[in-house]
Structure 1
Amino acid sequence: MLSLATIRRRWVSFTGTFTALCLGVTILCMTALVLTSARAEAPERYAGTQVLVQSPGADQSDGNFTENLPWSPERTDELVDQLDAVPGVAAAVPDRSFYAQAVVGGKPVDDPGGELRGHPWASAALAPDELASGRAPRADDEVVLPGSLGLAPGAAVTLLTAAGPAPYTVSGTVASDAFYLTDAAAGPLAGGVRVIGLVTERGADAAAVASAAQKIVGEGDRVVSGGSLKELEAKTAAKTRWIGMQILIAMAGLTAFVSLFVVASTFAFSIVQRRREFGLLRTIGATPRQIRRMMYGEALGVGVVAAAAGLVLGSLLAPVLGGLLVDGGLEPPGFTVRMQVLPLIGSFALGLLVALLGVWAASRRAARIAPLEALREAALEKRPMTRGRWIGAIGFTALGLILVVVAAGSSSDEMINNALYAAMALILGLTLFAPAVIPLVVKAVWRPLGRLRGATSMVARESSLTAVRRTASTAAPVLVTVGFAVLIAGMFQIKASGYALEETVRQGATSVVTPKGTPGLSDAAVATVPGGASLLPTELYVGGTDHIGAMGVSEGAFEKAREKMTVKSGSLEAFQGGNTMIVRSSTTAWLGWTAGSTVDVTFEDGRTERIKVVAEITDDSSTASVLLPRDTVRAHAPSALTQVVYASGPGRPEPAAGLGAESLTTSAYAARTDAEDDRLVRIFLTILIGMSLGYTCLAIANTLMMATADRSGDFAVLRLSGATRRQVLRIVTAESALSVGIGAGLGLLIALVTLLGIRSGLSSQLGTQVNLNLPWPTILLTVALCLALALASSVLPARMALRRTGARASATHP
């Protein structure tokens, strides 16, 4: 009963807790419903096939979503002949794919991303993709393409492949987004075969066909049918969906953490305000256990109502979130959110758990309040910095500075994580230091202003100095908000520019040619930069399921890169011909290779070659595990695309129209982040910044509303002492602005120190100066938002309090 009465009496104090929990449960409910609804889907290309055979899977422990091992051409032909003879099978169709994109009006249209949309016409039977108009291709220069392009049969079209643009005649159109060439024309453009579809005869028993096919393929290969067709999902789609899941999981984790932070800070601040109340309860006989139980009751009462409201909002908004993920390319088209009971129950229970955990520390502190606290009238805090707070502040600050130094000397892969840990430690340290720093800052800021503002300035200054904990409590959320937002945005900008500069510095480039409207550069686009340095990515398969990311290097790229390579064994001079490779030391240690050894390597087309390891280099000498001659990679990976060409000569090359390429300066290239992974990372960071801003701004508003609402007595004394309403509001405004200024300054200091460490480390590693481009729009927007919320959350409650004290004030001071 006492808990419920307290909630009714101090409803303003619990508004922030209610809002934080309600929003937290809303986001948890949304993400849980979307996560449980997200699942792999069978590709539409196999919608008309009931039974398919899949090649052995590659090891996925590295998280790269590598495609299955391709069959060799001989093994493919053998399987097709054997499966074609299975009773009930009309045709065994090997699924071959290659990069294809139409060029309309001199520009590539409908960027396929990482999806390979080109196929031989025989593969159309797997969908089945029926002709919407025209006929099947008969000549090697004919193509069946998507009807959405608006090209009728007989029209001329340029088709862009990995080799470059080539003229074709439209023989027909289909409703899908696929491009079909004749089997003979598609063969040289496609890589290895990983799936063979079994087109069954009418009335055939799919289960019997699958059983017979499994006996033929043996244990290594898999027969997929029925509900397991979803396992054929392309690895590019699986990776995109996985990134979307990481965003959702991060949203849920950050929501739980910040909800706990807001709830805990709310109850902790209420202890300061309710000190005399708890002292009075102790005076009349309340035990520490009863005090704790009362506070748990308050948290539980607010938590039940907030969690229930959050479930309703989360259920309504979950389909909206699902639609946004589909629009952002993080879920496949047609994805829908399904309502399920378990996520709803879990979200409700987690909301209550957050409420109880948030009040745990505060309840222990409240239970230690002595009965004599009921006699205290002064708000002066004689010991705002306790011994434990000093130890924690010094420890976390020292740890943060040490981690900044560690981050500066870390490798590029570990630098961001170490910098983030450093910032977190510094935020905790300076937050704990705030009561000690605030008096110094207040005196420094108000000394010149006090002479100009007179009594109003003096009252605001003394109020801030008297209630140091209150000032620190309002500045802390601003510190976290500004520090976190600026740090995340700044790290992203440094990462984008620094990592993009890594290869330009390594290659000594003066300009670069990059894709424009295409997923990569064709050989024709690469040829526009004579002598340019280019890297052609591929995947190598060794020892069964193991795989290695490799790069085919052009002569220009190798000549530039070898100057920065450190050879541990072997010789770079032997890197000649198609059967040689250079390997990083970590890869040789993993696979047991040595310089001078010859090993079997399977390429993307399924062919196995014996390649000689001519040199072992240190890990920091190359961004790729294995380096091969570019021509070798192209011979085995006909659909591989180059991502960038580095030009080192005078002037900038100008690629011709229709190649899907553009020329950029190195600085413009460093600032550009148009690749799919970078786009998804930006979405990820935007969500994190938005959520951190939203929650910590909520903490700012809640803390100030609580502090201002509890100062009615102070305002009444000021009015009775002769202060006008405008002067009182000006005092409140000055105090709020000071709190925001202190928090923003400390937050910027933390972010700047950490970002300087990142820049120093990257500059040292790359051997060139990496620019520190502070995210000024983010800084200004964040500080302005904090200030607006602080003023609204303090001035408005102050105006309401002044109205209540107006009668008493007017009696003595009209």
Structure 2
Amino acid sequence: MLSLATVRARWTSFLGTFVALGLGVTVLAMTALVLTSAQPEVPRRYAGARVVVQSPAVDQSDGTFTPGRPWSPERTDALLRALAAVPGVARAVPDRAFYAQAVIDGTPVGDPGPEPRGRNWSGTAFGPERLVAGGPPADEHQVVLDASLGLAPGSPVTLLTAAGPARYTVSGIVSGAGHPVVSGADSGTVSKAASKAASEAGSEAASGPVDPPSLYLSDRAAEALAPGVRVIGLVTVPGADVPAVAAAAASAVGGDGTVLHGAALTALEDRSAEKTRWIGLQILTAMAALTAFVSVFVVASTFAFAIVQRRREFGLLRTIGATPRQIARTVYAEALGVGVLAGGAGVLLGALLAPALGALMVEGGLEPTGFTVRFRALPLLGSFALGLVVAMLGVWSASRRAARTAPLEALREAAVEHRPMTRGRWIAGAACTALGLGLVVVAAGSESDSMINDALYAAMALIVGLTLFAPAVIPPIVRAVCHPLAGLPGATATVARESAVTAVRRTASTAAPVLVTVGFAVLVAGLFQLRAGGYALEETVRQQATSVVTPQGTPGLSDAAVAAVPGGASLLPTRLYAGGTDHVGAVGMSEAAFRGARTRMTVTSGSLDGLTGENTMVVKAGTAAWLGWTTGRRVQVTFEDGRTVDVTVVAEITDGSATASVLLTTRTVRAHDPSALTSVVYTAGTTSPAVLAPLGAQALSSAEYASRTSSEDDALVRIFLVVLIGTSLGYSCLAVANTLLMATAQRAGDFTVLRLSGATRRQVLRIVAAESALAVGIGAALGLLIAVVTLAGVRSGLSAQLGTRVDLALPWSTMALTIGVCLTLALPAGVLPARAALRRPGARAAG
């Protein structure tokens, strides 16, 4: 009853805690609903499939989202015959995927996403596409295009494949609306039918996952571009028993594949969509973790400051017989009451905002197209319970401090704080700071995948450490900052300085959330710039290149684009499959690329001179030890065409000598992966843009390439930073405003003394503004210190790993925005309550 009465009487003091917890539960509820809704979906191109056979899956523990091991052409033919003989199966159809992109008006068009859009015509048996004009491709030089491209049957079109551009003739037009074949129509009729079909297809697609438009070649042409097959669909006869067909198909396939039907068809989801969901999961998880961390931080700061202001109140309770345990229980009950109210409001608001968050995730490329939020009770209940846990954790330290209040505190009139740094605070601050510095060292030596997480953990520990040390470090910082201002006329700087030093907890409570916001924002923005820019420069340095040719509007470079760069050093990535479920990334190196890189390679055994022909490879030492691929041994590897070949290991190199696990010749890769695309071409010369543009390529300087590589991650960086800054800055603004409001509410006496001493109202407001700006400046400086220390450690580690100097570029725009918003909020949050306090009758009478 006492706790409830206190909450009612002091509701303004608990308003900040209520809002902080409410926002925290809102974010947790939104993220929980989105996370539980992010489930695999059946790709739209398999919408009509009832039974599908998928090639053997491979290990996914490395986080590369690698598709299953493909079947070879010979094994595919054998499986097709066996599956076609299954009772209830009308025919078995292979699904072949390859890179192909239409070129219109000299520019590649269509979606250049990670999944290939070229398909074999027979694969339309399972998808929603239907001919709306023309007919299927009759030979290897005909193509069926989507209606959205606006071409009519009989039109010539250039297709860009991995080999380069080639001329085709449009034989037909498809749309996903399921319309019947339109035959004997003139071009005008075709155009109208195609436009109508495309419009209706778009309406239909809005209700589920949508694949970008595909183009279709004849089965023979598709087999030449995609000899390896990973999916075989079964066309069942009308009325067939699907489970029985699936069981018989599983018997026919044996252990060389997995039979899917019903809900299991979600396993056909593209690996790129799975990776997209995984990235979204990381963003949402980081947002939830940051929300919980900052919520505890803000609640703890708010309650700690409130406890300082309520010393006399607790002293009175102790005087009339309250025990320390009862005082602590009172504070916990206050937090619980506020937490229940805030949790209920947060759950309701989170449920309302979750669809908007899901839409933003789709728009930002962090969830597949067609993703929708599904409402479930369990995530909402879990968010509510977690909100209560956050409230209890946040008030833990404050409750212990309140329990230690002595009865004599009821007699204190002075507001001067005593012993702001306790022994426990010194020990905890030193431990957290030491842990943070240790994690900085760990982050500097971490692999790229774990470097960002380690750096964030280091920043969290340093933030907690410096916050605990704040009462000790703030006085000397304030005196150092204000010392140059001592000679200025007027007493504003002197009074602001002494007020900040005297009320050190108020200053620390105001500076702490600014420290969190600035530290995290600058750190994350700087980390992404460091990582992206550093790794972009790595291969450029290896190849000693001054110019880099990169894709423009295409997912990679064709052989024609590579040939257009005389003397260029090119890298052709592919993937190799070893025995069982093992797989490794490989890259085919041109002769120029190999010459440029070999001088920086450290050979542990064998000779690099042996990397010639189609059946040799160089392996990193870690990969060789893992797979048992010793130098001189002939090992069996399966390529992207599904064929298993004996390849000789001619040399082993140290793990830092190359980015890929296995080095091959481009000749080897092209022989087994007809649709592989070159990632970049490094050159010391220049190439005409007019030559590169029709091939979907552009030339950039090394510096531009590093900057562009960084900007390619900008979508993820922007989303992450928006989440980070939006969350932490919102909490920072809330905490700053709440602290200043609580402090100013009890400073009417201070303002009266200042007025009696001769200060004008304007001078008093200037003093309050100076105190607020000083607190924000201290928080920003400490946050920048944490960010710079952590970034410097990561930069040192990256430079050592990459063997080249990585520049430390601070994100000045993010820094200015964050500090500016904090300052913009802190000034009115301090000045406006002070202005209201000066208008009270007592203050007016004193004036």
TM-score (norm 1): 0.96
Matched, 1:178 2:214: yes
Matched, 1:377 2:377: no
Give the match's secondary structure for 1:361. Answer: helix
Matched, 1:795 2:831: yes
Which residue pairs with 1:58 in the alignment?
Answer: 58
Q: Using the TM superposition, give the Cα deviation of residue 699 of structure 1 relative to its aligned residue in structure 2, in angstroms.
A: 2.0
CA contact (8 A) 2:332 2:395 kept: yes
In 2, Cα distance between the equivalents of 1:83 and 1:393?
68
Which residue pairs with 2:550 in the alignment?
Answer: 514
Which residue pairs with 2:844 in the alignment?
Answer: 810
Q: Using the TM superposition, give the Cα deviation of residue 645 of structure 1 relative to its aligned residue in structure 2, in angstroms.
A: 0.8
CA contact (8 A) 2:44 2:128 kept: no
CA contact (8 A) 1:654 1:663 kept: no
Which residue pairs with 1:353 in the alignment?
Answer: 389
Give the match's secondary structure for 1:564. Answer: coil
Give the match's secondary structure for 2:779. Answer: helix
For 1:210, the aligned partner's letter is: A
Give the match's secondary structure for 1:640. Answer: coil
Give the match's secondary structure for 1:451. Answer: coil
In 2, Cα distance between the equivalents of 1:679 and 1:443?
43
Of stretches 647-656 and 353-362 in structure 1, the one that deviates more from structure 2 is 647-656
Q: Using the TM superposition, give the Cα deviation of residue 39 of structure 1 relative to its aligned residue in structure 2, in angstroms.
A: 0.9
Q: Using the TM superposition, give the Cα deviation of residue 205 of structure 1 relative to its aligned residue in structure 2, in angstroms.
A: 2.3
CA contact (8 A) 2:119 2:222 kept: yes
CA contact (8 A) 1:488 1:689 kept: no
Which residue pairs with 1:285 in the alignment?
Answer: 321
In 1, Cα distance between the equivalents of 2:823 and 2:429?
26
Count matched residues. 811
Which residue pairs with 2:374 in the alignment?
Answer: 338
Matched, 1:703 2:728: no
In 1, Cα distance between the equivalents of 2:449 and 2:55?
33
Q: Deviations over 1:319-350 (max 9, x none)?
A: 11111122222223332212211122111121
In 2, Cα distance between the equivalents of 1:401 and 1:245?
28
Give the match's secondary structure for 1:138. Answer: coil
In 2, Cα distance between the equivalents of 1:143 and 1:401?
61
- Structure 1 residues without counterparts, runs of 5 or longer: none
CA contact (8 A) 2:84 2:92 kept: yes
CA contact (8 A) 2:613 2:667 kept: no
CA contact (8 A) 2:463 2:516 kept: yes
CA contact (8 A) 1:655 1:663 kept: no
For 2:5, the aligned partner's letter is: A
With over 3 angstroms needed to count, the CA separation of the structure-2 counterparts of 1:391 and 1:303, relative to structure 1, is closer
CA contact (8 A) 2:145 2:174 kept: yes
For 2:538, the aligned partner's letter is: E
Q: Deviations over 1:43-79 (max 9, x none)?
A: 1111112111111111111121110111122111011
In 1, Cα distance between the equivalents of 2:215 and 2:745?
68
Residues 103-142 of structure 1 mapped to structure 2, 5 A cutoff: 103-142=103-142
In 2, Cα distance between the equivalents of 1:167 and 1:594?
46
In 2, Cα distance between the equivalents of 1:467 and 1:245?
43
In 2, Cα distance between the equivalents of 1:745 and 1:378?
31
Which residue pairs with 1:87 in the alignment?
Answer: 87
Q: Using the TM superposition, give the Cα deviation of residue 425 of structure 1 relative to its aligned residue in structure 2, in angstroms.
A: 3.5
Which residue pairs with 1:492 in the alignment?
Answer: 528
In 2, Cα distance between the equivalents of 1:675 and 1:157?
32
In 2, Cα distance between the equivalents of 1:618 and 1:812?
79
Q: Deviations over 1:216-238 (max 9, x none)?
A: 11134211111111111111111
In 1, Cα distance between the equivalents of 2:312 and 2:351?
42
Which residue pairs with 2:491 in the alignment?
Answer: 455
Q: Using the TM superposition, give the Cα deviation of residue 435 of structure 1 relative to its aligned residue in structure 2, in angstroms.
A: 1.9
For 2:94, the aligned partner's letter is: P
With over 3 angstroms needed to count, the CA separation of the structure-2 counterparts of 1:707 and 1:652, relative to structure 1, is farther
Of stretches 703-712 and 652-661 in structure 1, the one that deviates more from structure 2 is 652-661
Q: Using the TM superposition, give the Cα deviation of residue 673 of structure 1 relative to its aligned residue in structure 2, in angstroms.
A: 3.0
CA contact (8 A) 1:496 1:672 kept: no
Which residue pairs with 2:189 in the alignment?
Answer: none
Q: Deviations over 1:726-767 (max 9, x none)?
A: 121111101011111111112222222222233333334434
CA contact (8 A) 1:528 1:653 kept: no
CA contact (8 A) 2:298 2:513 kept: no
Q: Deviations over 1:423-447 (max 9, x none)?
A: 3333333323322222222222323
Give the match's secondary structure for 1:477. Answer: helix
Residues 486-565 of structure 1 mapped to structure 2, 5 A cutoff: 486-565=522-601
Which residue pairs with 1:770 in the alignment?
Answer: 806
In 1, Cα distance between the equivalents of 2:710 and 2:564?
21
> Runs of at least 4 residues of structure 1 off by over 6 A?
650-654, 674-678
In 1, Cα distance between the equivalents of 2:675 and 2:722?
34
Q: Using the TM superposition, give the Cα deviation of residue 514 of structure 1 relative to its aligned residue in structure 2, in angstroms.
A: 0.5
Give the match's secondary structure for 2:486. Answer: helix
In 1, Cα distance between the equivalents of 2:69 and 2:695?
31
For 1:343, the aligned partner's letter is: P
In 2, Cα distance between the equivalents of 1:809 and 1:674?
57
For 1:810, the aligned partner's letter is: R
With over 3 angstroms needed to count, the CA separation of the structure-2 counterparts of 1:812 and 1:353, relative to structure 1, is closer
Residues 11-90 of structure 1 mapped to structure 2, 5 A cutoff: 11-90=11-90
Of stretches 317-326 and 444-453 in structure 1, the one that deviates more from structure 2 is 444-453
For 2:26, the aligned partner's letter is: T
Q: Using the TM superposition, give the Cα deviation of residue 398 of structure 1 relative to its aligned residue in structure 2, in angstroms.
A: 4.3
Give the match's secondary structure for 1:203. Answer: coil
Which residue pairs with 1:691 in the alignment?
Answer: 727
Matched, 1:303 2:339: yes
Which residue pairs with 2:190 in the alignment?
Answer: none
With over 3 angstroms needed to count, the CA separation of the structure-2 counterparts of 1:664 and 1:421, relative to structure 1, is same
In 2, Cα distance between the equivalents of 1:783 and 1:796?
20
CA contact (8 A) 2:752 2:846 kept: no
In 2, Cα distance between the equivalents of 1:314 and 1:128?
36
TM-score (norm 2): 0.92
In 2, Cα distance between the equivalents of 1:232 and 1:650?
43
Q: CA RMSD in A?
A: 1.9
Q: Using the TM superposition, give the Cα deviation of residue 80 of structure 1 relative to its aligned residue in structure 2, in angstroms.
A: 0.4
Give the match's secondary structure for 1:753. Answer: helix
Calculate percent identity across the aligned residue pairs: 70
CA contact (8 A) 1:267 1:359 kept: yes
Matched, 1:648 2:681: no
With over 3 angstroms needed to count, the CA separation of the structure-2 counterparts of 1:341 and 1:173, relative to structure 1, is same
Which residue pairs with 2:229 in the alignment?
Answer: 193
- Structure 2 residues without counterparts, runs of 5 or longer: 177-212
With over 3 angstroms needed to count, the CA separation of the structure-2 counterparts of 1:209 and 1:421, relative to structure 1, is closer
With over 3 angstroms needed to count, the CA separation of the structure-2 counterparts of 1:812 and 1:286, relative to structure 1, is same
Which residue pairs with 2:196 in the alignment?
Answer: none
With over 3 angstroms needed to count, the CA separation of the structure-2 counterparts of 1:410 and 1:339, relative to structure 1, is closer
